[in-house]
Amino acid sequence: MILEQVLNGVMLGMVYALIAVGYSLVFGILKLLNMAHGSIYAFGAHMALFIVSMHFGLLPAFLFAILTTGIISVLMDRIILAPLRAKNAPNITALISVMGVSYIIQNMMMIIFDSTKKTFPKLFDFGNVTFLGVTLTSTQIAMFLIALAFLVLLTVVVNYTKVGLAMRASRENAKAANMMGIDVRRIVTFTFFISGMCAAVAGVLVSGYYQMVYSTMGTEAGLKGFSAAVLGGIGVLHGSVVGGIIIGVAEALAVTYLGGSFRSATAYIVLFIVLLIRPSGLFGKDNIVKV
């Protein structure tokens, strides 16, 4: 029973890790908590549903969701945040602005798609697989593998490519990076696009897992992703992955042994306990943000 819940938690935790990575990427460069990330996650799920409802298939829906969600994330930066940075506005101003954007996106989805819960098709259905005596559904396995592949690809991009090097340089010292010929503005745009992609992938995977989409679905998922990012050490890429898995496993165990009513509170309880011991998170360092 325990092993079954641990595996279920790991599967779901990989999706929380994707959401958390989106927070960490933006925070790593701008030191900004993108509190619109949850609404962008829900936006990605609705974009996928829109294409699926037109009978174009899941793969086109997935690609369309990734593209449009990346674009809306970039637009948020260009229209709202970039002008604030140009005026050297304090971070609290940017934080309040992205919270406003979050509600705008959420209400736009309510107007266009209505606020009711809508059915989303299963991503994959090729039967069940037994692993270590535990039966896992094809949807769980596919969700885990897709999230893992995306996280591995993202790690390679950030740590082993020129654009990743530029991201890390911009994170350490944006002014020095600009003087060395790095277009920091483009790097920020690329970072927001990747962050939006992470949200879209997570949104589609969760929608396919629960077979449900609704306008406010990003509120709780966004907070759990944020908790995972802080738990692992905000701005630390691998920390976000570990934090997501820990929260996923803790949720699964809580549902089994304490009941479903404790599910939502579990992430925050784990977060509080860890932060009491390590205020900077599991992998975070005081005053140092790294990928």
Burial of residue 99 (CB within 10 Å: 0-12, 13-18, 19+) is middle
pTM for this model (two decimals): 0.88
pLDDT, residue 288, reads 41
Specify the DSSP class assigned to residue 149: H
Q: Where are the domains of the chain?
A: 7-215
d(CA 189, CA 197): 12
pLDDT, residue 20, reads 92
d(CA 197, CA 39): 13
pLDDT, residue 287, reads 44
* Residues of the chain falling short of pLDDT 70: 1, 260, 285-291
Among 109, 122, 89, smallest CA distance to 38 is for 109
Among 70, 33, 47, 1, smallest CA distance to 213 is for 47
Question: CA-CA distances (angstroms) from residue 210 to 119, 162, 207?
Answer: 9, 38, 5
pLDDT, residue 286, reads 56
- Tens of pLDDT, residues 127-183: 777 777 777 788 888 888 888 898 899 889 888 899 989 988 888 888 888 888 888
The average confidence (pLDDT) of the chain is 86
pLDDT, residue 1, reads 67
pLDDT, residue 290, reads 43
